[in-house]
């Protein structure tokens, strides 16, 4: 299984029946393939869907029906369409139980940076800032380090924040890490990865529980 | 979102505590959740702060709670059609706070949309007992109207599906969509609950994401029928 | 013709084809019977109608369809229903061309008082404040004097204002008066009423043009 | 409301002046008024300030105006799918102002609803080039976001009636309803104009009270069809 799919598969296990979830651009969109029970999880898409289904099959695309990343989408029975105002009222009003977002950096206190690299990448904010700040729970899905090997889980974000102290959990290609009041806590390891590997690739200090850690 | 949103009126309203702030849909009778209000009366909930466009009319809507002394405070836009409420106000037994109708709706919407409030130039000339916070933006003066949320919203919809998607009809929408966004617990009464998928997703007026509990009601003629005194005589 | 109907009939002549109008409680609702061309005038009702028709005939009432005064209403083809938020966005957004409102007092500068008599009448504000302040044109329909004979058209309102300097025209049982930068200007007289009658019943000074005034 | 709201694209857009602020519906391609944008390109309108969720993609939507150098400033929520717009920004030839997506929508709605602005706690932690006006309400800090209006709104609707009542569909609603409330001149393109009364009044998404001009468009495959690069491969 490709690492992105492994992250998505592991992330899907955090979803509880009855929850309203939002899947950010990138790895989070892959979660759609691993939803525990499609009848019991309602996917919100900020461009105006509550009850989004999987991507449209080839040849079955509707030009008026896309997801927030511009891919052609589908809906499940009981879905509703609405405008941007209503969509973000759902988000800022606190009705998203669980948002899965990508990251450029996550700090040990849960600060998230994922929207800008000044002078380099300036795609804009989109819906991420509101999702990060107002969802009841935010889980970050990301590679553990950048393409050049720099840690993404850091003591303090050097990049401008998307939202402060918003991340509850980080799922990477190497580990599952919980953000707690005491700091970052290593909870699970990917197959073939050691505690030492993860600690070495993480700038922020990690609390490592005694005993064997679960694998995913 | 719980796995089933369908409750009896008693189950749906049981957790509404004394002293709660309750948003109540309706403009006059259309869109008023009469059955849920009768449940509040029956279960004895008291010291309520109600938010409704108007005070309803004697014997109807929120007036049944006002008349029973269950309402400490009413936040509304006008109370002209309810002399009982006006009398209680003059006796000092009912606090009434009034706002321009559209501003009341905007305060509630701001609460629902996760905003802190809105800026308005309506009523800037008024001296009220509420000291206004004024700001200047782009050279113009505005009053800050803080967002308003409820502990509970009581909503009347024409139709719902099992997911909680709502459809309103005619002039019975009024404050219902705004209020259904702006409470921690959103209880909806409706005359019809259809299966998921039976409502065209483009015809949903309020997505089920906002709705916690659905109550199927029989619409009695007394509470939901034509009021003869507002009809033309044959 | 009862004086209220005469006022409504005269008021209807101020409506131009294509306008969006709002009819306040009281005399203004009677205008519905005198609309110039029902296909070309769209009546807005603040409880959620654009395209309101006459009152519902006896036995044809729909409990879900009322006007802003709680009377059972009808709609015309091409009408739309909407919620309070949208309804007042139409009003405050400046899309009402012409609002007809009642009055307790109107001042010579166009100040309007029609919502409260402190300690006596406190029905609340309703939609009148927003209509008065934001409609493109406001015409007041009222009796010329109170039930006790006191003038309602005054130098300065003693009652709390609904909105300042908002009234463009006043149509009463005795006269049609325009609010201009120069002051109140007498434009028309009701049948059987003299200029002296109107001047005597009006506290504010009136500009009276030379020559015969039109009758209505 | 004029006696007939139906115009050709050229007639409808003729009065749009150089330097105008133009609100443009659409999130990606769905709901984007492509035909009206092509009219602006054809008639040479320039020095525009455009407000759209995104910068569209090269060759589509507002990008055709950006590429032709007609856009002085873009107010958006993200521009990530348009490298041409990003390049122009880095060259200093296109000013870009970005807001959180829902806050951009709220600023526009405030403009349409006759409000001065909104209070939000989104992005309070940010230092931007825009100095924020901060206020404290009920013990919490908020940023004032002033209302935003356009001289013109260009809207795409799935269907309209001759009165200008609009119906949107699926994810093509997006910014259109907010923008259609918030401009002095509201021009709507649609693939279908039906007689007054043909749309159920409960199914109208935006009442015709807001709509000034309707343009009936043929929806070309190039502008309104499926974009292969966003589709799954067979």
In angstroms, the separation between the Cα of residue B110 and the nearest Cα of chain D is 8
Residue of C nearest to B156 (CA): C64
pLDDT of B80 reads: 83
How far is the C-alpha of A104 from the C-alpha of A135, rounded, in Å?
19
Residue with token string 């300097």: C165
How far is the C-alpha of D181 from the C-alpha of D193, rounded, in Å?
20
User: At residue A122, does pLDDT exceed 80?
Assistant: no
Query: Quick check: C36 contacting D, CB < 8 Å?
Result: no
**Cβ-nearest to C75 among D114, D115, D201:** D201
* Rounded mean pLDDT, B90-95: 92
> A80 vs B204: CB contact, 8 Å cut-off?
yes
Query: Quick check: C92 contacting D, CB < 8 Å?
Result: yes
Query: Quick check: C102 contacting B, CB < 8 Å?
Result: no
* Rounded mean pLDDT, B196-207: 98
Residue D119 token pair: 């209070």
pLDDT of D194 reads: 98
**Cβ-nearest to A124 among D27, D98, D102:** D98
Q: B53, B175 in Cβ contact below 8 A?
A: yes
Question: pLDDT per residue over B56-80, tens digit each?
Answer: 999 999 999 999 999 999 999 999 8
Residues of B in contact with A42 (CB under 8 A): 1, 163, 208-209
How far is the C-alpha of B84 from the C-alpha of B90, rounded, in Å?
10
> D163 vs C90: CB contact, 8 Å cut-off?
no
Average pLDDT, chain C: 94
Query: Quick check: C100 contacting D, CB < 8 Å?
Result: no
Question: pLDDT per residue over A61-108, tens digit each?
Answer: 999 999 999 999 999 999 999 999 999 999 999 999 999 999 999 999
**Cβ-nearest to B120 among D115, D138, D201:** D115
Residue with token string 């199927």: B216
Cα-to-chain-centroid distance, residue D45: 17
Q: Which residues contact A98 (CB under 8 A, 6 or more apart)?
A: A14, A15, A19, A20, A21, A22, A135, A136, A137, A138, A139
Starting at the earlier edge strand, list the strands of the sheet with B133-137. Answer: B133-137, B140-146, B117-120, D117-120, D140-146, D133-137
DSSP result, A165-209: S-EEEEEESSEEEEEETTEEEEEEE-TT--HHHHHHT-SS-EE--
> D140 vs B116: CB contact, 8 Å cut-off?
yes
> B106 vs D121: CB contact, 8 Å cut-off?
no
Residues of C in contact with D204 (CB under 8 A): 80-82
Q: D66, D94 in Cβ contact below 8 A?
A: yes
- Listed by number, the residues of chain B in 17-56 with a beta carbon closer than 8 Å to a beta carbon of chain C are 27-31, 53-54
User: At residue B1, does pLDDT exceed 60?
Assistant: no
In angstroms, the separation between the Cα of residue A57 and the nearest Cα of chain D is 6
Q: D51, D24 in Cβ contact below 8 A?
A: yes
Query: Quick check: A205 contacting B, CB < 8 Å?
Result: no
Band (B208; pLDDT cuts 50, 70, 90): very high
Cα-to-chain-centroid distance, residue D208: 17
- Listed by number, the residues of chain B in 86-145 with a beta carbon closer than 8 Å to a beta carbon of chain A are 109, 112-115
What's the sign of the alpha-carbon dihedral D81, D87, D92, D94?
negative
Is residue C124 classed as helix, strand or coil in its secondary structure? strand
Determine the Cα angle at B202 with ends B199 and B205, to 5°: 80
Q: A193, A172 in Cβ contact below 8 A?
A: no
| Structure letter (DSSP) for residue A9 | H
How far is the C-alpha of D214 from the C-alpha of C174, rounded, in Å?
44
How far is the C-alpha of B166 from the C-alpha of B155, rounded, in Å?
10
How far is the C-alpha of A178 from the C-alpha of A167, rounded, in Å?
9
pLDDT of B234 reads: 78
Query: Quick check: C182 contacting D, CB < 8 Å?
Result: no
Residues of D in contact with A72 (CB under 8 A): 226, 230-232
Question: pLDDT per residue over A140-190, tens digit each?
Answer: 999 999 999 999 999 999 999 999 999 999 999 999 999 999 999 999 999
* Neighbouring subunits of D (3+ Cβ pairs under 8 A): A, B, C
- Listed by number, the residues of chain B in 119-148 with a beta carbon closer than 8 Å to a beta carbon of chain D are 119-121, 133, 135, 137-138, 140, 142, 144, 146-147
pLDDT of C46 reads: 96
> B137 vs D121: CB contact, 8 Å cut-off?
no
User: At residue A38, does pLDDT exceed 70?
Assistant: no
* ipTM of model over 0.95: yes
How far is the C-alpha of D61 from the C-alpha of D24, rounded, in Å?
9
> C82 vs D204: CB contact, 8 Å cut-off?
yes
Q: How large a percentage of chain C has pLDDT more than 70?
A: 98
User: At residue C19, does pLDDT exceed 70?
Assistant: yes
Q: A57, D68 in Cβ contact below 8 A?
A: no
User: At residue C201, does pLDDT exceed 70?
Assistant: yes
* Rounded mean pLDDT, C70-89: 97
Residues of D in contact with B168 (CB under 8 A): 202
How far is the C-alpha of D84 from the C-alpha of C47, rounded, in Å?
47
Residue B205 burial class via C-beta count within 10 angstroms: exposed 0-12, middle 13-18, buried 19 and up: buried
- Listed by number, the residues of chain D in 185-214 with a beta carbon closer than 8 Å to a beta carbon of chain C are 195-197, 201-202, 204, 206-210
How far is the C-alpha of A176 from the C-alpha of A189, rounded, in Å?
6
Residue of D nearest to C40 (CA): D3
> A56 vs D232: CB contact, 8 Å cut-off?
yes
A–B interface: beta-carbon pairs under 8 A: 70
> C78 vs D165: CB contact, 8 Å cut-off?
yes
> D133 vs B137: CB contact, 8 Å cut-off?
yes
In angstroms, the separation between the Cα of residue C157 and the nearest Cα of chain B is 13
Q: What's the longest Cα–Cα distance across chain C?
A: 53
pLDDT of D2 reads: 45
> A90 vs B207: CB contact, 8 Å cut-off?
yes
Average pLDDT, chain A: 94
How far is the C-alpha of B188 from the C-alpha of B176, rounded, in Å?
10
The helix or strand, by DSSP H or E, that contains position B82, with its residue range, turns out to be: none
Among B159, A123, B12, CA closest to D101 = A123
* Neighbouring subunits of C (3+ Cβ pairs under 8 A): B, D
Q: Which residues contact A176 (CB under 8 A, 6 or more apart)?
A: A10, A169, A170, A186, A187, A188, A216
User: At residue A198, does pLDDT exceed 60?
Assistant: yes
Residues of A in contact with B115 (CB under 8 A): 92
SS3 content of chain C, % helix, strand, coil (to 5): 20, 30, 50
pTM, two decimal places:
0.97
pLDDT of B131 reads: 75
Residue with token string 């002051």: C183
How far is the C-alpha of D211 from the C-alpha of D145, rounded, in Å?
26
How far is the C-alpha of C142 from the C-alpha of C125, rounded, in Å?
18
pLDDT of B2 reads: 45
> C130 vs B106: CB contact, 8 Å cut-off?
no
Residues of B in contact with D133 (CB under 8 A): 135, 137
How far is the C-alpha of C95 from the C-alpha of C98, rounded, in Å?
9
In angstroms, the separation between the Cα of residue D84 and the nearest Cα of chain B is 33
> B119 vs D144: CB contact, 8 Å cut-off?
yes
User: At residue B28, does pLDDT exceed 50?
Assistant: yes
> A82 vs B204: CB contact, 8 Å cut-off?
yes
Query: Quick check: A79 contacting B, CB < 8 Å?
Result: yes
Starting at the earlier edge strand, list the strands of the sheet with B159-161. Answer: B166-167, B159-161, B193-194
Q: Which residues contact B87 (CB under 8 A, 6 or more apart)?
A: none
pLDDT of A121 reads: 66
Starting at the earlier edge strand, list the strands of the sheet with C98-101. Answer: C73-81, C49-55, C42-45, C20-23, C98-101, C138-141, C167-171, C175-180, C183-189, C206-207
Beta strand pairing call for A49-55 and A42-45: antiparallel
In angstroms, the separation between the Cα of residue D220 and the nearest Cα of chain A is 12
Indicate which residues of A carry an active-site annotation: 46
Q: How large a percentage of chain B has pLDDT more than 70?
A: 97
Question: pLDDT per residue over B118-135, tens digit each?
Answer: 999 998 988 666 778 999
Cα-to-chain-centroid distance, residue D183: 10
* Rounded mean pLDDT, A22-43: 88
Residue of A nearest to B165 (CA): A80
Residues (pLDDT < 50) of chain D are: 1-2
Among D228, D62, D74, CA closest to D156 = D62
Residues of A in contact with D83 (CB under 8 A): none
Query: Quick check: B220 contacting C, CB < 8 Å?
Result: no
* Rounded mean pLDDT, B36-40: 98
Cα-to-chain-centroid distance, residue D160: 18
Residue B219 token pair: 């619409």
Q: D215, D190 in Cβ contact below 8 A?
A: yes
> D142 vs B117: CB contact, 8 Å cut-off?
yes
In angstroms, the separation between the Cα of residue D186 and the nearest Cα of chain A is 18
| Structure letter (DSSP) for residue B84 | H
């Amino acid at each position: 299984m490709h690492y992105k799919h492994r992250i998505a598969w592991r992330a899907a296990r955090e979803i509880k029946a009855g929850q309203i979830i939002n899947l950010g651009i990138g790895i989070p969109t892959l979660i759609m393939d691993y939803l525990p029970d499609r009848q019991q999880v309602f996917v919100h898409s900020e461009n105006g869907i509550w009850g989004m289904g999987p991507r449209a099959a080839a040849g079955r695309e509707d030009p008026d029906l896309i997801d927030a990343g511009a891919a052609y989408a589908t809906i499940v029975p009981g879905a509703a369409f609405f405008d941007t105002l209503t969509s973000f009222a759902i988000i800022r009003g606190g009705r998203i139980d669980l948002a899965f977002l990508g990251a450029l950096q996550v700090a040990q206190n849960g600060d998230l940076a994922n929207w800008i690299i000044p002078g380099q990448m300036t795609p804009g904010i989109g819906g991420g800032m509101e999702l990060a700040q107002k969802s009841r729970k935010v889980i970050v899905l990301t590679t553990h380090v950048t393409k050049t090997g720099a840690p993404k889980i850091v003591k303090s974000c050097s990049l401008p924040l998307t939202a402060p102290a918003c991340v509850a959990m980080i799922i990477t290609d190497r580990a599952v890490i919980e953000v707690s009041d005491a700091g970052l806590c290593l909870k699970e390891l990917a197959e073939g990865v050691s505690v030492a590997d993860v600690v070495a690739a993480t700038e922020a200090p990690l609390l490592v529980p005694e005993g064997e850690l679960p694998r995913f | 979102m719980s796995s089933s949103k369908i409750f009896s009126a008693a189950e749906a309203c049981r957790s509404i505590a004394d002293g709660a702030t309750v948003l109540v849909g309706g403009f006059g009778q259309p869109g008023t959740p009469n059955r849920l209000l009768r449940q509040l009366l029956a279960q004895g909930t008291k010291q309520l702060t109600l938010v409704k466009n108007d005070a309803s009319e004697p014997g109807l809507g929120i007036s049944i709670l006002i008349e029973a002394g269950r309402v400490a405070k009413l936040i509304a836009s006008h109370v002209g059609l309810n002399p009982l409420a006006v009398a209680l106000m003059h006796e000092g037994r009912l606090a009434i706070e009034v706002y321009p109708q559209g501003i009341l709706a905007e305060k509630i919407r701001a609460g629902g949309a996760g905003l802190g409030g809105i800026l308005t130039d309506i009523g800037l000339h008024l001296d009220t007992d509420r000291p206004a916070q004024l700001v200047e933006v782009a050279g113009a003066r505005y009053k800050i109207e803080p967002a308003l949320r409820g502990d509970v919203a009581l909503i009347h919809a024409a139709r719902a599906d099992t997911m909680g998607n709502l459809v309103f009809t005619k002039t019975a929408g009024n404050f219902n969509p705004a209020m259904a966004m702006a409470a921690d617990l959103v209880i909806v009464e409706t005359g019809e609950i259809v299966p998921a998928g039976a409502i065209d997703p483009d015809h949903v007026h309020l997505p089920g994401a906002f709705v916690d509990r659905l109550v199927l009601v029989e619409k009695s003629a007394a509470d939901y029928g034509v009021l003869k005194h507002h009809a033309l005589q044959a």
